[in-house]
């Protein structure tokens, strides 16, 4: 598979490097900065099936807006250090390219990260939760495998390579493109408890987007469906190793307040994010590993 991928260095003004993946079933792009997928185009599709903002900033100190950010080792603001960056350090760090291979599911690219990677404040040593009664060194090894095929498979595996227990939150924060967010629905979470940060649609029904929706479902099933009649498409999502989901669309006002988000772009995206956070935070003893991932599969809706 020597021809299955190419590495293009320094393609953006920020000097960020990415891998372009060209396979039989799909093409894709993943940046070493954040191990951030910014494009996935299955064979037969005209456009990428991950959404990327036209205002995305490509620079060391910024997370790319859109695509598939990895939130790790915390989600949202870090409770012990709320002044630090949102959604952890992984999306601000330079990952190592560890290899690519053709698999039955498509071309799989693996990237790696550990505590020696340059990180924004507060640095990896203070980035994990620890038991203060415990002693020893905090070390970890993260591996992220992205498989670009007719489905997009993203899989984060974290191993505690240190000598004390570590706790962390994690999410795969995929931005899906939609024709008009006001016309789509998300099903699979009906009846499950959630915490609402915005003010979205009613409980007990598939989720509709008529205002900002920013919901955390801390414990929920692994399968979701995003149905978009306008695009004639449904995404089926199957997560693994995650306790719940986050569902997010900023809607008009929040989008306008974000510098790296076009004022009208909220119409064309929705984020569905398998997550383990808060009380469902993942704890690993030395030597233990945990995997968290999601398979996203697009299907064409039958004509009505």
CA distance 240 to 100: 22
Check if 173 is active-site: yes
33 binds ligand BG6 (CB under 6 A): no
Contacts for 213 with CB less than 8 Å, ≥ 6 apart? 198, 200, 201, 207, 247, 248, 249, 251
User: Per-residue x/- marks for ligand BG6, 176-215, CB under 6 A?
Assistant: ---------------------x----------------x-
Q: With contact defined as beta carbons under 8 Å apart, do 245 and 189 qualify? A: yes
Smallest gap from Cβ 78 to ligand BG6, in A, equals 12
Which of 33, 87, 173, 265 is catalytic? The answer is 173
Which one among 26, 30, 63, 213 touches ligand BG6, defined by CB under 6 A?
A: 63
| Residue 277 touches ligand BG6, criterion: CB under 6 A | no
CB atoms within 10 A of CB 121: 11
What is the phi/psi pair of residue 5, to 5°?
A: -150, 160
Residue 145 to residues 106, 177, 253, 294: CA-CA distances in angstroms? 12, 22, 35, 11
The enclosing H or E element of 91 equals none
Rule CB under 6 A: which of 239-268 touch ligand BG6? 246, 248
- Taking CB under 6 A as the rule, does residue 169 contact ligand BG6? no
Smallest distance, Å, CB 18 to ligand BG6? 19
Please tell me whether residue 172 binds ligand BG6 under the rule CB under 6 A: no
Minimum distance, C-beta of residue 232 to ligand BG6, in the bound complex (Å): 27
Site for ligand BG6 in 130-149 (CB under 6 A): none
Measured at CB, which residue is nearest to ligand BG6?
86
The set of catalytic residues is 173, 273
């Amino acid at each position: 598979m020597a021809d299955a991928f190419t590495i293009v260095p320094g393609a953006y003004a920020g000097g960020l490097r990415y891998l372009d993946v060209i396979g039989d079933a799909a093409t894709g792009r993943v940046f070493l900065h954040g191990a951030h997928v910014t494009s996935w185009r299955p064979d037969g599709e005209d456009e990428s099936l991950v959404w990327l903002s036209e205002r995305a900033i490509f620079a060391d100190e910024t997370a790319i807006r859109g695509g598939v950010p990895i939130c790790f080792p915390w989600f949202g603001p870090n409770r012990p250090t709320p002044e630090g960056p949102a959604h952890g350090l992984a999306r601000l760090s330079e990952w190592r390219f560890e290899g690519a291979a053709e698999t039955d599911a498509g071309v799989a690219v693996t990237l790696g990260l550990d505590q020696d990677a340059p990180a924004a404040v507060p640095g990896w040593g203070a980035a994990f939760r620890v038991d203060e009664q415990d002693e020893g060194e905090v070390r970890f090894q993260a591996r992220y495998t992205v498989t670009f095929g007719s489905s997009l498979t993203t899989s984060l595996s974290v191993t505690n390579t240190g000598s004390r227990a570590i706790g962390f939150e994690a999410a795969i924060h995929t931005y899906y493109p939609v024709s008009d967010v006001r016309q789509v629905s998300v099903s699979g979470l009906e009846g499950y408890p959630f915490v609402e940060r915005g003010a979205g649609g009613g409980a007990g029904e598939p989720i509709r987007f008529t205002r900002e929706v920013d919901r955390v479902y801390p414990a929920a099933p692994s399968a979701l469906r995003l149905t978009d009649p306008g695009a004639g498409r449904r995404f089926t999502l199957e997560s693994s190793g995650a306790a719940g989901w986050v569902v997010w669309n900023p809607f008009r006002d929040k989008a306008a307040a974000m510098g790296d988000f076009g004022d009208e772009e909220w119409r064309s995206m929705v984020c569905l994010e398998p997550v383990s956070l808060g009380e469902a935070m993942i704890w690993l003893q030395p030597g233990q590993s945990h995997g968290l991932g999601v398979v996203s599969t697009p299907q064409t809706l039958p004509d009505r």
